[in-house]
Structure 1
Amino acid sequence: MVHESYVVPGEKLNNAELCEAFGCSPQGGMRRAHKTNTLVIVSNHIKSIYDDRWLEGVLHYTGMGTKGDQSLTFQQNKTLAESGSNGVTVHLFEVFKDQEYTYVGEVVLESKPYTETQDDEQGKPRKVYVFPLKLVSGDRLVEKQESRQCRECPFSQS
């Protein structure tokens, strides 16, 4: 199995490669992997009801739950909210092209989650939790940058 440490920022993976590298589920925006003690979060910029946005180097990432008010104690919202103390490493991927996941890097909470109103999947206003996340490396690669391929990954293409 490919380990997540072989994935480098800017690298583009398909869903199967992402799941192989992190040992996570093939679906969802927040994918917990107990085997690797990681949480993979996906910010999909092409098809999503969530209003994820970068502001001054911080990703304001909307929590889990597509209908009705979100809860901070619900599934991976709780994992992400407690990521500063639960030992789980959080990895961010962004989607700008269908079925292509661009690895951004490891992220940590910049500050406590806050609430705001966003529409749910039925277009009804509801309370969501927003997680301010910053990159551990401090640098965000732009989405148009050429992918740097991982030399040691068996699925890399030169």
Structure 2
Amino acid sequence: MPTDSIATLSPGDIVLNAELCDIFGCSPQGGMRRAKKTNTLVIVTNHIKSIYDDRWEGDVLHYTGMGQDGDMNLSSAQNRTLNESPTNGVKVHLFEVFKPKEYTYVSGSV
């Protein structure tokens, strides 16, 4: 699904990784992709291949964040960006992966 801008995304839309990068101006890899060009943070939860245990419980996503050892540090890197998103002006957009290379848009400003 080619998309020209963030505004044209709707929940359920599927984009390829290259399209996701073009839309947001973000990195092609990682679960937390900060894009200063669009003032966004793209969150990707991969349900087929991940070292993390991201999961939904009801309508709440338990997202692991950045870091592989010990407790998550909410004051560093993109964990901080996500933690402060209600006040820092960065719009957060969530994608889920259920099939290789397909990113399903969930919502923006989650």
* Fold in common (TM above 0.5): yes
Aligned residue pairs, count: 108
Matching residue of 1:36: 38
Q: Quick check: which one's helix share is greater?
A: 2
Give % identity: 67
Stretches of structure 2 lacking an aligned partner (at least 5 in a row): none
Q: 2-side partners of 1:89 and 1:67: how far apart?
A: 27
Runs of 4+ aligned residues of structure 1 deviating over 2 Å after TM superposition are 66-70
How far the C-alpha of 1:35 sits from its partner, in A, is 0.7
Matching residue of 2:29: 27
Q: 2-side partners of 1:59 and 1:107: how far apart?
A: 13
Matching residue of 1:10: 12
Stretches of structure 1 lacking an aligned partner (at least 5 in a row): 109-158
Q: 2-side partners of 1:107 and 1:54: how far apart?
A: 17
CA RMSD, 1 decimal? 1.4
Q: 1-side partners of 2:28 and 2:19: how far apart?
A: 10
Query: Please, which of 86, 89, 93 is the counterpart of residue 91 of structure 2?
Result: 89
Q: Which has the larger radius of gyration?
A: 1
TM-score (norm 2): 0.91
Matching residue of 1:49: 51
What SS does structure 1 have at the residue aligned with 2:85?
coil
How far the C-alpha of 1:107 sits from its partner, in A, is 3.9
